[in-house]
Amino acid sequence: MTNERVRILRKKLSFSQKEFGRKLGVTRSVISNIELNKVVPKDIFIKHVCEVFNVNENWLVSGNGDIFKMGTQPNKTLNELWDLFCNLRPEFQEYVLQQIDKLVEIQNKDDS
């Protein structure tokens, strides 16, 4: 059932119900009600889950196929980094990018 697959997806991504809901723009109680099969998720919610987490809609609805679209399994660390980066002011975003460039240079020198 879809409710079980929502729970499986959330756990695979290592999100709490609150974190999972926040990423989707809904409350923890919405996720809880879906997982407990108290609420049947609407098509728009299913499509949103698939878009946000690169989930195979066929798997989410029917259980057939792979969980994630080909080669797109999300990385929780990368998602957290992206959220933090997006919350920075533009001047701090630029600073972060400069520091990452410097780290890559250092790493490349160490690998040589």
Q: Taking the domains of the chain in order of start, what are their residue ranges?
A: 2-62, 76-111
What is the percent of the chain where pLDDT is above 90? 62
- Asked whether the predicted pLDDT for residue 71 surpasses 70, the reply is no
Q: So what's the pLDDT on residue 109?
A: 86
**pLDDT tens-digit readout, 24-53:** 999 999 999 999 999 999 999 999 999 999
Q: Decide yes or no: CATH 1.10.260.40 for domain 2-62.
A: yes
Identify the sign of the CA torsion 24, 16, 93, 104. Answer: negative
